[in-house]
Amino acid sequence: RLSVAAFLLFPRFLTPPSYPLPVVTRPAACALFVFFVAAALVSVTVELGARNREAVERTRVESRLITKLSSAEFSGASLVAVLEQVRGLFGMSTVALVDPASGDSPLALVGPPPSEPPTLIVAATDGLNLVAYGPEIFAEDRRLLGVLAAMASRAWQGQQMAEQAARAHQLAETDRVRSALLASVSHDLRTPLAGIKASVSSLLQDDIPLSEGERRELLLTVDASTDRLTDLISNILAMSRIQAGAVSVQVSPVALDEVVARALLGSGANVTVDVPEDLPLVQADAGLLERVVANLVDNACRFSPPGVPVRIHADPAGASGETDPEATGAEATGAKATCVHLHVIDHGPGIPKSQWGSMFTPFQRLGDRDASAGLGLGLAIAQGFAESMHAELTPSATPEGGLTMTITLPVAE
């Protein structure tokens, strides 16, 4: 357009005589023709250059977009990201990935539910279609739309494969736990049952006279074996609840000293307690926290040397999570306390730091050579219940030797 306008204005202003439109001399006509050809060539060259630059920039943007989406992991989030890109790039109101063979329900959808027929239907891989609702698009945009449709289909297939892999992993973990359980209960459940059976059989024999002391000893064996059997079954049921995600949690403000007292009630363990009564209330499920403390104390007592008590200590911590060693009682429970640490400390052989990650695995008895000590579920249950309450259970080394298990609980508002 500029070259045509220049061609029309050239004879009026630049060709003598000025201002009349007709060209009266042959040299002026030749100059006008050359000017028009040069202007046309320059205009075409500039237009082609602009189009080439636009095409190169478009290709660069498309390549960067495709690289970004291709490098993302296949998941439901990556599929939604592809559909969101289609929706944003082409100004669509709704974009969906559909499977024509499975009916009208879309496999994935971004945007409001459509009420009109789709504007575009682009074939993707694996028999899927990318359906868009909105304005028409230019022909040069269809190539990018086809690539994005194929990526959406691959993201959907990747999501299905990831879900299948997760289910397979869950089944494998279930089989592993089941195998470990069967291997453990072959001894751990049979031992208390054998003790109960032998004691009851002795009590029922009329041909063998038993003194009062012997009868009492047999009854105590029955009582201890029954308690042991009850604990084993309770731990198995608790572990199954944790793995099934069926733990019922009722979080409320609780007093830590009261929970610790109930956890130690009737245990007979050699424990010294240092839990101030004026600590702030913590957010926890009292019943689950009681089980966590009881399991940690039981584990600590099992590894502590004879005559050496297990120590339970609690202190508040500030926003940084660090405890003020000089603050005690009401002074330590000031406004800056955001959580409370409950430490269960033993002075046993301890556990190497390299094994801290595996100590919470069910049926692990790290450093425990006594098979009668249990199924190895205590720490796994303690961690599962702590996580259910959004508390944190962390191990550390006792300075004088041993293991310290710390429960971090948020302060109740």
Give the number of other Cβ atoms within 10 Å of residue 350's Cβ: 16
Is 8 buried (19+), middle (13-18) or exposed (0-12) by CB count in 10 A? Answer: exposed
pLDDT digits (tens, 9 = 90+) for 312-341: 999 998 644 455 444 444 444 445 678 999
The pLDDT score that the predictor gives to residue 320 is 45
**What gap in Å lies between CA 27 and CA 276, rounded to an integer?**
110
Mean pLDDT across the stretch 183-210? 78
pLDDT digits (tens, 9 = 90+) for 103-154: 667 888 888 888 788 888 888 877 888 888 888 777 666 777 777 788 888 8
DSSP single-letter state for residue 277: T
Confidence of residue 343 (pLDDT cuts 50, 70, 90): very high
Query: In this structure, is the dihedral angle defined by the CA atoms of residues 184, 188, 193 and 195, taken in order, positive or negative?
Result: positive
Confidence of residue 408 (pLDDT cuts 50, 70, 90): very high
Which phi and psi angles does 170 have, rounded to 5°? -65, -40
Angle at 294 between CA 388 and CA 340, to 5 degrees: 60
Give the number of other Cβ atoms within 10 Å of residue 85's Cβ: 20
Angle at 398 between CA 389 and CA 412, to 5 degrees: 25
Is 354 buried (19+), middle (13-18) or exposed (0-12) by CB count in 10 A? Answer: exposed
| Per-residue b or e along 295-318, where b marks 16 or more CB atoms closer than 10 Å to that residue's CB | bbbbbbbbbbeeeebbbbbbbbbb
Joined together, the tokens standing for residue 56 give 């190169």
pLDDT exceeds cutoff 50 at 385: yes
The pLDDT score that the predictor gives to residue 368 is 47
Confidence of residue 237 (pLDDT cuts 50, 70, 90): confident
Contacts of 314 (CB under 8 A, 6+ apart): 256, 257, 260, 274, 275, 276, 279, 340, 341, 342, 343
pLDDT exceeds cutoff 90 at 311: yes
- More reliable by pLDDT, 70 or 351: 351
Helices (runs of H) and strands (runs of E) counted in the chain: 10, 11
Residue 377 vs residues 92, 93, 374, 381: alpha-carbon distances, Å: 54, 53, 8, 6
Q: Which of 114-118, 315-319, 349-353, 391-395 has the lowest mean pLDDT?
A: 315-319
Mean pLDDT across the stretch 255-268? 86
Contacts of 361 (CB under 8 A, 6+ apart): 380
Confidence of residue 274 (pLDDT cuts 50, 70, 90): very high
Element (DSSP H or E) covering residue 76: helix 76-89
DSSP single-letter state for residue 314: E
Mean pLDDT across the stretch 233-239? 71
Mean pLDDT across the stretch 95-105? 80
The pLDDT score that the predictor gives to residue 194 is 85
The pLDDT score that the predictor gives to residue 362 is 60
The pLDDT score that the predictor gives to residue 23 is 53
**Minimal CA–CA distance to 383: which of 391, 375, 372, 373?**
391
| Per-residue b or e along 160-173, where b marks 16 or more CB atoms closer than 10 Å to that residue's CB | eeeeeeeeeeeeee
User: Helix, strand or coil for residue 409?
Assistant: strand
Confidence of residue 19 (pLDDT cuts 50, 70, 90): low
DSSP single-letter state for residue 17: S
pLDDT exceeds cutoff 50 at 216: yes
This prediction's pTM = 0.49
Contacts of 121 (CB under 8 A, 6+ apart): 129, 130, 131, 132
